[in-house]
Chains A and B, each alone.
Chain A
Amino acid sequence: MKRFAFPGMCLAVQMLTMSAALADGGAVSGAEPPPSSPRYHAADAPSSTPFVSLGGINPVMDQERYFHGIMNELEGRYAPGGTDFRWDGEAWYGSDYNKLWLKTEGTQERGRLHDGDHELLYSRAISPYFNLQGGVRVDLDDGPTRTWGALGVQGLALYEFEVQATAYVSDRGRFAAKLEGSYDFLLTNRLILQPQAEFNLYTRSDAARQVGAGLSDVDAGLRLRYELWRKFAPYVAVTYSGFLTQAHRIVRDQGGETGTLRFTLGIRSWF
């Protein structure tokens, strides 16, 4: 999965495309209908007298369900002050249209787990490249636990940017948003450079979780991976994790690290 914060414009275009695709209900889109357009009729249109297979044998398997998971980041981030350990992964099970989607990420810093964000979502395919996702997010780590409802989109934007944009509302009536994006530059067919970034925004500060109102934190990386085989790729990277605006002040006042650039080693793998 590629990630990169991508201008909202692209997303807006995507949303428009999606709604257009949804609205047409399988009829016409794209090309202009001629003024004297004939009545469209597909010879293979869904029928009130459908084909009934002998013995209930389905001649093909276009309704299978699949199970996949990917650990995009599984890495050690090195710095003189200590080494962080971070993971970011997701897994899903389901059909072409409907999937159950699990996302999880977290950072272990000096024996303390923070930035733990775990989401269980229902994912619905809504356009060629985008899924609409809704469900629950739980911030579960060594800090206080928070629970959110989540609604977002995930997919492949123009120019093959991988994007995710999710909005959250908490049980305490607060709002938040997360934007993620990445892009794969193929240096060779196996050596791939991937810039990636994740931004978190909140409407209200939450000092206990080092969260500030507005743009609160960023976690970004420039990862160079080598796909030994498709499902297994070690990488070297430079990663940056930092707090911004109000959160920056909160963390500084707490005496924490407000932002660190680190040399990173990790493994990307999937099944």
Chain B
Amino acid sequence: MMFSSSRLRDGLTRRRFVTGVGAGGLMAALPRSAQSAGVGAQAAGLIPAEPSALWNLSVGRTHIEIDHKALHAPCVEGTVPGPVLRWRQGETVAVNVTNTLAHEDTSIHWHGIRLPSGMDGVPGLSFTGIKPGETFTYRFRLHQSGTYWYHSHSGMQEAQGLYGAVVIDPIHPDPNACERDYVILLSEWTDVSPMDMISNLKMQDDYYVFRQRTAASFLREAREAGSAAAALKDRLAWSRMRMAATDISDVTGIIYTYLLNGHAPDGNWNGLFCPGERVRLRFINGSSMTFFDIRIPGLEMLVVQADGNDIEPVPVDEFRIGVAETYDVIVQPKEDRAYTIFAQSEDRTGFARGTLAPRASMVGPVPPMDPRPVRTMVDMGMGNMKPGESMKEMAMPAKNMSGGGMAAGDMADMPMPGMAMHHQHSAPPPLEVDDPGPPPINVENQNVAMMPVDRLGSPGDGLEQTGRRVLNYRQLRATRPGADPRPPSREIILHLTGNMERYIWGFNGRKFSESGPIRLKKGERVRFTLINDTMMEHPIHLHGLWSELENGQGAYRPYKHTLISQPGSRMSYLVTADVPGTWAYHCHLMLHMELGMFRTVIVE
């Protein structure tokens, strides 16, 4: 058992941390020695007592076993996750990263941090990586504050454990300071190598899915659908498309153990509170393939920050966190009892779990998982079409169009009732539109969203009918107006495409190796519009520049670094190309990125 307590310089915050019994897997992996400020006697989820402008980090492989799955995990300072780095806004920080790996390059990307492109840590784009035995010094000034994270951008190291949290103290007093403050970093653990995953998925796209519709599940489906005929019709519609309504996550709990601050569910990570205290939880989804739906039964969560930027507080019972997103929530447990932080994977094949408790080693009740989501024709980009309706019936205009989207090519020059609110009414139309047109059906793309719809008001598949208050993107409202009031002078429309059967991913029906860079002029104000033609969510991350989501909040649109594009949806955000350089732009589902859903954005 570990215990530590500290008081911040500004006296605002007091933090304590206790690990529960059974955290043995992680204990073995705690840092062997303190090598620099803040690293050392630090336990998972605990934020260092003081910020530091200098960090020395070592990357190596450590034998770690969690949930009976052993791995020589590439990681920082011998722990998974790596140490929490605490910085202060306005300071220039230096991080010396030493590669002690025997034969592989490494890198650290500072996810969501605005910095010169040479410091962004993407091998091939920002620099040439860190060779074995070498030390690279990252140095950049912090213009922002909030919760972020770091991870390797080399090979598959991130998927195996090379990631950690970053907390940046604001210069001004933090409006969301709490008596307790914990990082809650969610991730996955498996002894299956990511290369094997890719190879298996290339051979069989549902390799890891054991929740498919079967003869055995037909009776239940018939009951839910109202009749056997309706259930059969829906099944035929899906099999006709050669897709599966049960395709939620490509890689599942069959091989993954879901971690909370490096602890398996049995490890039961503990965070302490005194009844009545306000507790800030900084959720980071550091997994490579898993979305989590998070709730703390018995507690209302006040969402106060998204992707490091403060938002007007939103009280919720639950929220979905896409891969690479962060959300800060505040809870105020009043009773003298244990509360469970319950983070079920989107496909409901497992969950990460921890406990908030007034005393160490308490165990909160673990709720049952919800039913797994099932994809619908909305996810296929067919608007609200019923299964079995033919494409011809719905492709034709008039009544079907209202409220929905339409074939992409028409969008640029036609006013759309459903879309109007996302474009600023007062703004002149963008001068220039890069519209690729509907993507081709080809080897690399198996579907075209005929009627992509606005899904910003939806919390996501599987969360629409839970009876709980679940966060959606439309609720995100920044606490201060955006820094760049200019309307966009250019719109870039991109289709998210893929072929699940061949397991190829990309934009506009092309993978990375067949595409050119997206070029932006320095200072240019651009609207990115994403149309998701696939039936899966994609967390799209633009390095180096903010993505300002056009969610109907006008000047108070939220600034994000990673945005979930929901299946069958159309979504827009604004970008100011204010930092020159070559930036990565990709789906943060690691296997999708590696298999082509990746672009370079060059600001020149």
Contacts and interface: CB of A to CB of B under 8 A. Distances in A.
Given A57-B124, A59-B123, A189-B214, A44 B508 contact: yes
Contacts of B444: 96
B203 A270 contact: yes
Contact of B596 (A21, A34, A55, A60): A60
Contacts of A156: 242, 501
A4 to B, nearest CB: 13
Q: Shortest 4 CB-CB distances between A and B: which pairs?
A: A47-B516, A42-B436, A57-B124, A55-B128
B207 A230 contact: yes
Contact of B443 (A50, A55, A127): A127
B446 A128 contact: yes
B240 A159 contact: yes
Contacts of A58: 124, 513
B513 A59 contact: no
A60 B507 CA distance: 14
B158 to A, nearest CB: 13
Given A66-B202, A230-B200, A189 B210 contact: yes
A51 B516 contact: yes
A62 B511 contact: yes
A41 B123 contact: no
A29 B443 contact: no
Contact of B516 (A44, A68, A127, A160): A44
B596 A37 contact: no
A29 B407 CA distance: 11
A135 B434 CA distance: 43
Interface string B467-511: 000000000000000000000000011100001011010011111
A185 B212 CA distance: 11
A46 B506 CA distance: 13
B604 to A, nearest CB: 11
B335 to A, nearest CB: 41
Given A44-B515, A53-B125, A28 B492 contact: no
A190 interface: yes
B209 to A, nearest CB: 8
Interface of B: 122-129, 153, 198-200, 202-204, 207, 210-216, 236, 239-240, 242, 395, 407-410, 412-413, 433-438, 440-446, 448, 450, 492-494, 499, 501-502, 504, 507-519, 582, 584, 586, 593-596, 598-600, 602
Contact of B504 (A30, A34, A53, A96): A96
A230 B508 contact: no
A55 B413 contact: no
Contacts of A96: 443-444, 502, 504, 511
B517 A47 contact: yes
Nearest to A29: B440
Given A31-B409, A270-B203, A40 B442 contact: no
Which of the listed residues B445, B493, B514, B515 has the most CB atoms from chain A within 10 Å of its own CB? B515
A58 B594 CA distance: 10
B446 to A, nearest CB: 4
Interface residues of A, number: 60
The secondary-structure label for the interface of chain A is: loop
Contact of B215 (A36, A66, A185): A185
A26 interface: yes
Interface in A135-157: 156
10 contacts: A28-B440, A29-B438, A30-B448, A37-B437, A44-B508, A51-B516, A66-B199, A96-B504, A159-B240, A270-B203
Contacts of B504: 62, 96
Contacts of A188: 214-216
A186 B214 contact: yes
A61 B154 CA distance: 11
A43 interface: yes
Which of the listed residues B129, B199, B202, B438 has the most CB atoms from chain A within 10 Å of its own CB? B438
B511 to A, nearest CB: 4
A62 B595 contact: yes
Nearest to B243: A160
A30 B435 contact: no
Given A34-B407, A129-B242, A230-B204, 17 more contacts: A27-B437, A33-B437, A34-B409, A38-B412, A38-B413, A40-B436, A43-B434, A44-B516, A55-B128, A58-B513, A62-B511, A96-B502, A96-B511, A97-B443, A128-B499, A156-B242, A188-B214
Nearest to A59: B124
A267 interface: no
A126 interface: yes
Which of the listed residues A27, A47, A51 has the most CB atoms from chain B within 10 Å of its own CB? A51
Contacts of A270: 203
Contacts of A46: 510, 514-516
A58 B128 CA distance: 10
B598 A60 contact: yes
A40 B173 CA distance: 49
A68 B494 contact: no
